[in-house]
Amino acid sequence: MGVTHKMSLRVTTVDRAKLSSVIRKNISSRIPGYLEVLEAHCRKMFGKSCIDLFFDEPESFRAVLFTRYNNDVNPVYFAIKYLFLRAILTALDMLELEEELARDFIENPLLFKEKFHKILKI
């Protein structure tokens, strides 16, 4: 069995700094400049970085996204699923949870936070 380069992205222990880096790299490679633009909204509304809000206050991060996208659920769903969750869940080898967590983020951010923190063990 050969080892693929993707294996290097796997995270065996939950390390917040490493997961933050995985998110940043994923977003930068897919949509350059996106996180910087979003960061301005996060800092303006809550005085914190987007990634900190995503980990600690998903309900606030959700508010930022819905404000940014004029309450349109589609771009919020895309951003959370493909830019944030996919990066982390791929690194943790838990991609099967992506749809459920994305839906929870949209519909019930407090339930999302509870499930997400169990996965991250924080």
Count of C-beta atoms within a 10 Å radius of residue 79: 22
Mean pLDDT for all residues in the chain = 88
Residue type, 62: R
Q: Which residues, including other chains, have CB under 8 Å from residue 65's CB and lie 6 or more apart?
A: 38, 75, 76, 79, 80
Q: Which residues, including other chains, have CB under 8 Å from residue 51's CB and lie 6 or more apart?
A: 20, 23, 24
Answer whether residue 101 shows pLDDT above 50.
Answer: yes
- Does residue 16 contact residue 92 with C-beta atoms inside 8 Å? no
Answer whether residue 49 shows pLDDT above 90.
Answer: yes
Does a structural domain hold residue 7?
no
Does a structural domain hold residue 4?
no
91 falls in which pLDDT band (50, 70, 90)?
A: confident
Does a structural domain hold residue 49?
yes
Answer whether residue 74 shows pLDDT above 50.
Answer: yes
Distance CA 87, CA 71 (A): 24
Answer whether residue 105 shows pLDDT above 70.
Answer: yes
Domain total of the chain: 1
pLDDT for position 122? 62
| Dihedral over Cα of 120, 75, 109, 97: its sign | negative
pLDDT for position 12? 44
Does a structural domain hold residue 94?
yes
Domain that holds residue 46: 15-120
